[in-house]
Amino acid sequence: MLRHLLHTFALGSVALATDANIKALFGPYLSPGSEIATSSDPGFVDVVSPRWTTWETPTFQAAIKPANEADVQKIVEIAGKNNIPFLATLNGHGNNLKYAKFQNGLNINLANFNSVRVDAASNRMIVGGGVTFGDISDPLAAAGKEIQTGNAVCVGLIGATIGGGIGTMQGLHGLVLDALESVRIVTATGLVVASKSENPDLFWAIRGAGANFGVITSATYIVHDETNSGRVTLADFVFPVASNRSIWELLKSYDDHIPAPMALIPSIQYNRTINETYINVGLAYYGSQSEAQPYIDQVNALHPGSTTIQNVTTGELHEIFSEGVCDRGNRHNVYSLGLRTTDSAALEETLSDLIPFFEAHPDYRGNFAIQRYGNAAMLRIPDDETAYPWRDISAYL
């Protein structure tokens, strides 16, 4: 089935035709609302998807911003017949060395697929392929609903979903892909629906390995009633580096279990104003401060230099987490590891390596962070139900 759906996808790095031919190839078959531009056109930047990072980027000779599903089907059909390589993107957060191998291809910009509809009665949300995590906050809150999301508001919802989708609400509801109920996806043979009952093998594959199987134009998710009326207790602690071992030991104490409503995020950072390394610990709890207080007290017992506690909405929480993360045009190169256990000695050694690195590279603005979320909800999903292979990860580095 998958072989049949995918055999004509053009994913290589073959040069496109001339600018004029590109417009002649696609233009007559697209709706009036679609836009086509080549890289030499003055308006190219308005048609091509924006790119989050300047690191190891793909390059595009042409871009199309389709207006509807029929346009996407035509683009995929024509590109396949003419051996034209393409990438369908939104905000360009894909971060992988292989993207640099994609040169002078066609960009399909999904920005026009930005609809969000929440059906509170059926606990469903239907979104277009151009919707970001930030786009769904207000419609969900207005309906009194919530869904597990990633932490950065600028990231595409569907793009993150089909890779897994981790975030602070993971302990309550699982991975974002666990909320996915169905998709409308343009494959090499046309538009199909994928769900547990329709094209189930394709649905299995896109959940965890989805970026290579087609262009998703819309998706239906299961949503939940708001936890704690949509309010989150957010605590922020700043520590000197001398406290690092006690912080790693606290993190280690949560290796086997962490409360479902809680997320714990320690990070090693450098203050360029005072030229000093420090450790920040963020604690988010989907509940009242009184419910979160025992866990806040655990961190305060380690004697932070400062403690800040806020009561925020889930939307505000992710806006806070997105500060600086969504800036475009910088060299964002991200490397990640999944951890099953916390090795305090290794983290202590990492800190000792990072301090001289920070000091020797004054232009460096990065940090080292560990995201520890609950995983009981995602472990309830059988391993063979999706293509996602890392449900036993305890923390993300």
Structural domains in the chain, sorted by start: 2-109 (3.30.43.10), 116-227 (3.30.465.10), 229-378 (3.40.462.20)
Sign of CA pseudo-dihedral 138, 140, 143, 144: negative
Residue 145 CA: distances (Å) to CA of 74, 165, 230, 310: 36, 18, 8, 21
Both tokens of 15, joined, read 């040069």
Q: Per residue in 250-265, pLDDT tens? A: 999 999 999 999 999 9
Residues 6+ away with beta carbon under 8 Å from 360: none
pLDDT at 9: 40
- Provide the pLDDT for residue 212: 84
Is the separation of the CB atoms in 105 and 98 below 8 Å? no
**Is the pLDDT assigned to residue 15 strictly greater than 60?**
no
53 phi, psi to nearest 5 deg: -125, 150
In one-letter notation, the amino acid at residue 34 is S
pLDDT in the model for residue 1: 38
pLDDT at position 5 over 90: no
Instruction: Give the pLDDT band of residue 97 (cuts 50, 70, 90).
Output: confident
Distance (Å, whole) CA 367 – CA 358: 9
pLDDT for the residue numbered 16: 60
Residue 117 has pLDDT above 90, yes or no: yes
pLDDT tens per residue across span 337-387: 999 999 999 999 999 999 999 999 999 989 999 999 998 999 999 989 999
The SS3 call for residue 376 is helix
Return mean pLDDT, the chain.
Answer: 93
Torsion from C-alpha of 91, 92, 93, 97, nearest 10 degrees: 180
The rounded distance, in Å, linking the Cα atoms of 358 and 365 is 9
Per-residue confidence (pLDDT) for residue 309, from 0 to 100: 98
* pLDDT value for 358: 96
d(CA 203, CA 200): 5
User: Position of tokens 């520890």?
Assistant: 372
pLDDT in tens, 273-326: 999 999 999 999 999 999 999 999 999 999 999 999 999 999 999 999 999 889
Q: What is the pTM of this model?
A: 0.93
Residue 96 confidence class, pLDDT cut points 50, 70, 90: confident
Residue 10, pLDDT > 70, answer no
